[in-house]
């Protein structure tokens, strides 16, 4: 019997209607950021479920950034 091969990315990503709504809001805000900052590059988001909590992570590559 063949075993299914899953990548690590597929194992940690979890998407349902709640996560889908959050990611859709993030995607909707991208064009506004591109208008305001022409050199903006969309970050690669990581999302999923840790225990019973959702998470969305994105890298902060710029210096002197207030993450809050």
For residues 45 and 54, the answer to whether their CB atoms sit within 8 Å is: no
Quote the domain boundaries for residue 29.
8-57
pLDDT on residue 35: 92
Domain count, the chain: 1
Residue 50 counted as domain residue? yes
* 67: confidence class by pLDDT, cuts 50, 70, 90: low
The band of 47, judged by pLDDT with boundaries at 50, 70 and 90, is confident
Q: Is residue 64, in this structure, part of any structural domain at all? A: no
Among residues 66, 26, 68, the alpha carbon closest in space to that of 46 is found at 26
């Amino acid at each position: 019997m063949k075993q299914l091969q899953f990548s690590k990315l597929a194992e940690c990503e979890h998407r349902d209607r709640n996560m889908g709504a959050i990611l859709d809001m993030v995607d909707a805000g991208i064009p506004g950021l591109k208008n305001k900052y022409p050199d903006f590059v969309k970050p690669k988001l990581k999302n999923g479920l840790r225990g019973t909590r959702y998470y969305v992570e994105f890298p902060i590559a710029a210096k002197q950034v207030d993450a809050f």
